[in-house]
Amino acid sequence: MREEMTIGARLRALRRWRGMSLDELAGLSGLSKSFLSRAERGLRALDRRSHIAALANALRVSETDLVGGPHLTTDRQQSEPHAYVEPLRVTLESNSFYADPVVERARPLDTLVTLMSGRIEQQRRRYNYIEVGKDLPAVIDELHWHVRQPADEATQRRALETLVEAYMCAAGMARSLRHPDLGQIAAMRAEQTAVMLGDPVAQGKAAFSLIRPNASNWHRVKVMAERAAEALEPHVRSPQDIPVLGMLTLNAALASAASRDTAAARDWLGEAATLAARVPDDLERNWQAFSSTNVAIWNITVGVECGEGGSVIAAKAAMVDEERLNAHVGRKTCFLADVGRGLARDPKRRDEAIQWLRRSEASAPQRFRNDAKVRETVAVLLEQARVAAQGRELRGLAARMGVPH
């Protein structure tokens, strides 16, 4: 049972498979032997992107090998979204800009645009991948039909603009359900669509999806994120463009943190805060919820990645107006989960951490129960549990996430 619980257990198996000692792995990864020893025993969480990347590189394996793939359980909210991954894969693999559409007819473009910006977008913001998965593959198919057989140039551009958002939605869904390769394919399709459109702002949107902090070479991701932000900046001419640049700066901040460049991460967070001050603090209407409140949430995410302690994370959390997050459940669940992960590192705050994690689960169970970083935190907390009350809460979380308990 315990061999399957944590990333540390897989780390131990992979290290032994490579014939490495703890001393050798510590030297190659830049992490201390004592930290690695505790991680392998399930006493320290391996939930920082920089640590996972360093260990995967040292062991010469993929991050999926280390973190593990989807853990499907009998819980509907955790497992059912995965039923929609295969239809999404078929759609991504079968459509092309250089061949006839895979569908013979499509609904009116107005209908598809309304569906994408309405029901699909609202369900995406709730991380309700079951409902997104029911609609998204067909919408992508039919948008390709309109791109290949447009009534006029304006119709084709509108179809392409909507297709960028659709592919970004597909990328987010695939990555959240722990299919990173499929997510990258979708993000590359978004980039290809934006290039066809010839719009720098659309290309900035696609870059946000393509250069997501989810790779083993964090220095490369950091450079790509910084270049994307610099490339877009001269083309920001309206208030609607600012959130796109803002989200790219937040990507650069997180990539910098994962590259262990804390100073650069703080600089990019400062740039994001400056941009956020130029737009309304409106998570519901701004693109990708970019706003001062969202920057405050990312400040916590970056802080957790930088290894900040529970007290620092708690102080940052106190500065976020949770009422504003009710307009965007997806951002709320990420905020609650990151605070819980940060607090879990402080032995005196473990009970508090569990309550933050429970609130995150209640906000968006599909997202929460499929999150590898949260799963690692829950598994390590469970290993550390000593009192019955704490154990009961943790066993409930663990059961719904497929963590052996």
2, pLDDT greater than 70? no
**pLDDT score, position 67:** 85
Give percent of the chain with pLDDT exceeding 70: 96
390, pLDDT greater than 60? no
| Cβ-Cβ contacts under 8 Å for 42 (sequence gap 6 or more) | 2, 5, 6, 8, 9, 379, 380, 383
Using one digit for the tens of pLDDT, what is the confidence trace for 184-197? 999 999 999 999 99
More confident residue, 134 or 216: 134
- Sorting pLDDT into bands at 50, 70 and 90, what band is 136? very high
Is the CATH number of domain 1-68 3.40.30.10?
no
218, pLDDT greater than 70? yes
Distance CA 17, CA 250 (A): 37
1, pLDDT greater than 50? no
Distance CA 242, CA 234 (A): 11
Helices (H) and strands (E) in the chain, counts: 24, 0
Mean pLDDT of 34-53: 90
Token duo for residue 130: 């079951």
**pLDDT score, position 314:** 97
Residue in 188, 104, 98, 179 with CA at minimum distance from that of residue 138: 104
Domain ranges in the chain are 1-68, 71-210, 215-300, 308-405
Q: Model-level pTM?
A: 0.88
360, pLDDT greater than 50? yes
- Sorting pLDDT into bands at 50, 70 and 90, what band is 63? confident
**pLDDT score, position 402:** 73
**Burial class for 396, CB neighbours closer than 10 Å (0-12, 13-18, 19+):** middle
Using one digit for the tens of pLDDT, what is the confidence trace for 294-333? 999 999 999 999 999 999 999 999 999 999 999 999 999 9
**Burial class for 225, CB neighbours closer than 10 Å (0-12, 13-18, 19+):** buried
Mean pLDDT of 394-405: 74
More confident residue, 173 or 394: 173
Task: Output the DSSP codes for 275-340.
Answer: HHTTS-S-TTTSGGG-SHHHHHHHHHHHHHHTT--HHHHHHHHHTS-HHHHTT-HHHHHHHHHHHH
Three-state DSSP state, 225: helix
**pLDDT score, position 395:** 74
Question: Rounded mean pLDDT of the chain?
Answer: 92
Residue in 279, 195, 186 with CA at minimum distance from that of residue 231: 195
**pLDDT score, position 387:** 43
214, pLDDT greater than 60? no
Contact 39, 7 (CB under 8 A): yes
Least confident of 8-12, 280-284, 389-393: 389-393
Using one digit for the tens of pLDDT, what is the confidence trace for 13-33? 899 999 999 999 999 999 999
Least confident of 64-68, 94-98, 108-112, 227-231: 64-68
- Sorting pLDDT into bands at 50, 70 and 90, what band is 269? very high
Give percent of the chain with pLDDT exceeding 90: 77
Token duo for residue 109: 């473009």
Token duo for residue 154: 């304006």
Mean pLDDT of 334-338: 97
71, pLDDT greater than 80? no
**pLDDT score, position 391:** 64
**pLDDT score, position 68:** 80
Residue 125, CA distances (Å) to 207, 254, 273, 365 in order: 20, 21, 22, 13
**Burial class for 388, CB neighbours closer than 10 Å (0-12, 13-18, 19+):** exposed
